[in-house]
Structure 1
Amino acid sequence: MFRAEWKPAYETGHQRIDFEHRIFLDLIIQIEAELTADAPIEKIGRRLTELYKYADFHFYSEESIMIDLSFPGIEEHRKIHTALLEELSRFILSMSIDLIRQNDLIGFLVHWFSNHTTREDIKIADFTRARIEQQG
């Protein structure tokens, strides 16, 4: 089981992004708990849809921040966001035909959150820090 808590490694240094990431992580933990507890598929499906809608909002918000910062890697980052949403959409679709793969879903969500946050979103923090140092 994932059962993760917020770690300093997940921090990007941007207050709003970190706040949204905490909500995102909480949703993942809820989904895992519901899958582990064999919650009704309708409940899990609803939570996955909530996660999809939140991720879509969060990605749009994060991309707006990158635009405001003139972040040079925004197009590549946007492509990653699109791919992640497409993958999540496939999991949601598989639920609608009752083919959910619990371990695959949890693995995807854990990998998505931990790797995307620590490898991609951290680039925003690094860029912001370098920009501040240049101005200072």
Structure 2
Amino acid sequence: MFRAEWKTDYETGHQRIDFEHRIFLGLIIQIEAELMAEAPIETIGRRLTELYKYADFHFYSEESIMIELSFPEYELHRKLHIALLEDLRRFMLSMSIDLIRQADLIRFLVDWFAHHTTREDIKIANLVRSRG
């Protein structure tokens, strides 16, 4: 099975963003553990909803930080957040919760998290570092 785990590549250098990213990935790891333990379908569905709601909160929080930093790509990044939430929503709706393929679900969630964190959020880290 694919294993979700924290990597230093996910660190942005901004304490609050990194803290929230760890919680975010922690939810993915929890979903993975519940799948492996064959938790009830209702539990998995509820956890996915929790992940969606946390993602919405985290993106809003991150956008507030970008505004405070006068992040030059704020609007583009905000649109990426909207698209990511839509991807997650569509993924959740497209699967029959009782037919979840464990590896596919975890791979989607980790790729979804990791891709954005390492390609887009790193830009925030670069701005933070450049300002000392």
- TM-score (norm. length: structure 1): 0.87
Q: Which has the higher contact order (CA 8 A, sep 6+)?
A: 2
The C-alpha deviation readout for 1:81-125, integer Å capped at 9, x for no partner, is 111111111232235675544333222111112221111111001
Aligned position for 1:15: 15
Task: Extract structure 1 runs of 4+ deviating beyond 4 A.
Answer: 95-99
Give, in angstroms, the shift of residue 47 of structure 1.
Answer: 0.3
**Residue 57 (structure 2) pairs with residue 57 (structure 1):** yes
Instruction: Name 1:39's counterpart in structure 2.
Output: 39
Is 1:130 the counterpart of 2:127? The answer is: no
Letter matched to residue 32 of structure 2: E
The percentage of aligned residue pairs carrying the same residue is 81
- Look up the match of 1:48: 48
RMSD over equivalenced CA pairs, Å? 1.8
Is the 8 Å Cα contact of residues 12 and 122 (structure 1) preserved in structure 2? yes
Counterpart of 1:67 in structure 2 is 67
Question: 1: distance between equivalents of 2:46 and 2:25?
Answer: 16
TM-aligned CA distance change 1:40 to 1:55, over 3 Å: same
The AA in structure 1 aligned to 2:64 is S
2:104 aligned partner, one-letter code: D
Comparing 79-88 with 97-106, greater Cα deviation is found at 97-106
- Provide the rounded CA distance (Å) in 2 between the counterparts of 1:51 and 1:9: 21
Instruction: Name whichever of 33-42 and 91-100 sits farther off.
Output: 91-100
SS in 2 for 1:5: coil
CA distance in 1, matches of 2:65, 2:20: 12
* Alignment TM-score, normalising by the size of structure 2: 0.89
Paired residue secondary structure (1:12): coil
> Within 1, Cα distance between the matches of 2:75 and 2:100?
32
Q: 1:128, CA displacement in angstroms?
A: 1.5
Kindly tell me the number of residue pairs found equivalent between the two proteins: 132
Contact persistence 2:55–2:85 (CA under 8 A)? yes
CA gap 1:99/1:76 in 2 versus in 1, 3 angstroms: farther
